Structure 1
């Protein structure tokens, strides 16, 4: 008799998270940066990894203050906001950063709140930490309805509020007034409430769109997360981080696993940060390609959500799966995600976007 596994009831029958990984010529489905690191970046990363390898018999620096200083320096240049290194935290991708937040501030008897549609991993972070998950609805244009958001915070008294800006899958940026309103409502929650603004795509925001980093100084219950996966083109390196008050960061140090950030990961991230100006130069071209894609789609009569990210949500289609499949049949993989009738395309190289456009014209008869 084969013994049964004592799988938690809420996990029974579930499939692991993940977008389709298919071998096709044009991959535009997971919001990757289409540009590989330059030879100069590769060489410096290789040197840094070789040096780190000499000490792999020892555990890595568990508090990685040198990396935190480099990240703080980068944020000051990118956003104009000064954050102390003690106010920086990093982990293996922003996914692990989010998990640390839910481990520290969520848990049984507590609630995490967000606003749909939004990133599909958020409820999984809640589930994995036995945190109750609730959502309120965004406005029709996918912006945050301030009155509805404030009312939801008051109704549910969450210990964590998750706000993505730009929002995934819609690309919608968080308006400063909406962020301030949610922070004020969270400050009134009995027992406290942490507001997390997930800026995984923050570097792609349009000129004049502020970062939530500008709100940090006045809000010790705010955390702003970033990643090196998107703008830096380092999705394979797995380095995410956040900025917050040092007291909030100290809470995350309690729940992180010992030596969770390897010496190799730290070396790769620091070497890449030394090339931040070069890597950020690609962001401008991706922004321009995104805006051109928005214009092209709208000129063909499609509805396109306003976007400050490196992707575009567009529709509406009576049978979006048929359109998705038709693109795939022509070697172009995009994402079937978001509200019914919508599709999302990541911004690739000019050649990749031309292939996407040509395929969409054929499939949708535009």
Structure 2
């Protein structure tokens, strides 16, 4: 049987591994930051009806400009946005790929701030874009001064800021986004995949779009909307930047079924997002209980918690998996990451972790509470 190394693959792809989290059939999967709450029955019924209607004309190509969907995204985001400022694709990863295809490529570079989302360097590689890893401040924070200094030092063609950051959960201030934009000479992308999990009233980088044509704000329906399986990501930016993405997208890249499903979910946005408050509560509960168990959880504005103080992350990961709990080893020494699930799922994780024994140097035992 032929091996990959025997094929005439691109030299820059040799020795690389595809992106992917472990997939195991376990009762409690808290490893890929999904919204573990199911779509409400009435919403699911409406989505099914819309998809069924789309199937009736499936012999025809879908709206290439997905106009109705862009109008729906503009209404959802607000901030005076219009359909001309919106883009969408099959997940936010494809949105980011479109950006790199249009503004990156051979001889150009993308700057991210490590540790951050592991797909950024993979997307850069796939588009022939060089990837640069900038530094962060202590506790994975990113101050305006540090962001600007790293941009000036490395002089990238594109900058990507993950807000809140994955895998650390660290929130990002608008002052940092402004400083990065002012220091950068090229496109600045703010990846707000987890924006809905930030505290109420916390401003989005969407407020910074006016007068900043090089600023792009990426979002996804995978997380807060519990729509990971539908693969829908979207972006807000200057109309000229949206035009640039049209140059690289594949024809009819959003299927009629995808458009119909997304429109159904957006029509019930309030109901779909009603579970966000519960997820925040479970996230805050994780922070509190992990600290009581002797670990060092980092502050999080997302639907997951990165925690340190893990003596042996690989062994802890496997021990939890054997108990039917799947979390994520993100490769940061002595750290693991866990998604905030339902109350029952969160309890199952905390009880399983407590049963493994406390980390070295941990304080006295504390009971696992059922609320944050």
The bucket for the TM-score relative to the shorter chain is over 0.9
Q: Deviations over 1:59-113 (max 9, x none)?
A: 111101110000110111xxxx221110000000001000000000000110100
| Preserved contact between residue 323 and residue 364 of structure 1 (Cα < 8 Å) | no
Tell me which residue corresponds to 1:54.
56
| Preserved contact between residue 25 and residue 332 of structure 1 (Cα < 8 Å) | yes
| Preserved contact between residue 327 and residue 338 of structure 2 (Cα < 8 Å) | yes
> Post-superposition shift, 1:292?
1.4
Quick one: which of 151, 154, 162 aligns to 1:153? 151
| Preserved contact between residue 170 and residue 338 of structure 1 (Cα < 8 Å) | no
1:31 to 2:3 alignment? no
Quick one: which of 300, 305, 314 aligns to 2:298? 305
Tell me which residue corresponds to 1:16.
18
The SS at the match of 1:232 is coil
Q: Distance in 1 between matches of 2:326 and 2:40?
A: 25
Q: Deviations over 1:174-218 (max 9, x none)?
A: 1111111001001xx2xxx10000001110012342211111113
Tell me which residue corresponds to 2:314.
321
Tell me which residue corresponds to 1:73.
75
Quick one: which of 141, 162, 165 aligns to 2:163? 165
1:261 to 2:254 alignment? yes
Written as runs of structure 1 = structure 2, the 5 A alignment for 1:111-260 is 111-186=109-184, 189=185, 193-260=186-253
| Preserved contact between residue 169 and residue 338 of structure 1 (Cα < 8 Å) | no
> Post-superposition shift, 1:341?
0.8
Q: Distance in 2 between matches of 1:148 and 1:21?
A: 37
Q: Distance in 2 between matches of 1:217 and 1:298?
A: 41
The SS at the match of 1:152 is helix
| Preserved contact between residue 335 and residue 345 of structure 1 (Cα < 8 Å) | yes
> Post-superposition shift, 1:157?
2.0
Q: Deviations over 1:278-299 (max 9, x none)?
A: 0111001111111111111112
Q: Distance in 2 between matches of 1:207 and 1:292?
A: 18
Q: Distance in 1 between matches of 2:168 and 2:81?
A: 29
| Preserved contact between residue 294 and residue 309 of structure 2 (Cα < 8 Å) | no
> Post-superposition shift, 1:338?
4.6
Tell me which residue corresponds to 1:98.
96
Tell me which residue corresponds to 2:362.
none
| Preserved contact between residue 135 and residue 150 of structure 2 (Cα < 8 Å) | no
Q: Distance in 1 between matches of 2:309 and 2:212?
A: 39
Q: Distance in 1 between matches of 2:47 and 2:261?
A: 5
Q: Deviations over 1:136-157 (max 9, x none)?
A: 1111211113333212212222
Written as runs of structure 1 = structure 2, the 5 A alignment for 1:283-302 is 283-302=276-295
Q: Distance in 1 between matches of 2:143 and 2:12?
A: 31
1:40 to 2:42 alignment? yes
The CA RMSD measured in Å over matched residues stands at: 1.4
The TM-score with structure 2 as length reference comes to: 0.93
The SS at the match of 1:86 is helix
The TM-score with structure 1 as length reference comes to: 0.95
> Post-superposition shift, 1:15?
2.1
| Preserved contact between residue 170 and residue 312 of structure 1 (Cα < 8 Å) | yes
| Preserved contact between residue 161 and residue 194 of structure 1 (Cα < 8 Å) | yes
1:270 to 2:263 alignment? yes
Q: Distance in 2 between matches of 1:182 and 1:27?
A: 36
| Preserved contact between residue 213 and residue 224 of structure 1 (Cα < 8 Å) | yes
> Post-superposition shift, 1:16?
1.5
| Preserved contact between residue 35 and residue 233 of structure 1 (Cα < 8 Å) | yes
> Post-superposition shift, 1:37?
0.8
| Preserved contact between residue 91 and residue 234 of structure 2 (Cα < 8 Å) | yes
Name structure 2 gaps, 5 residues minimum.
359-364, 366-372
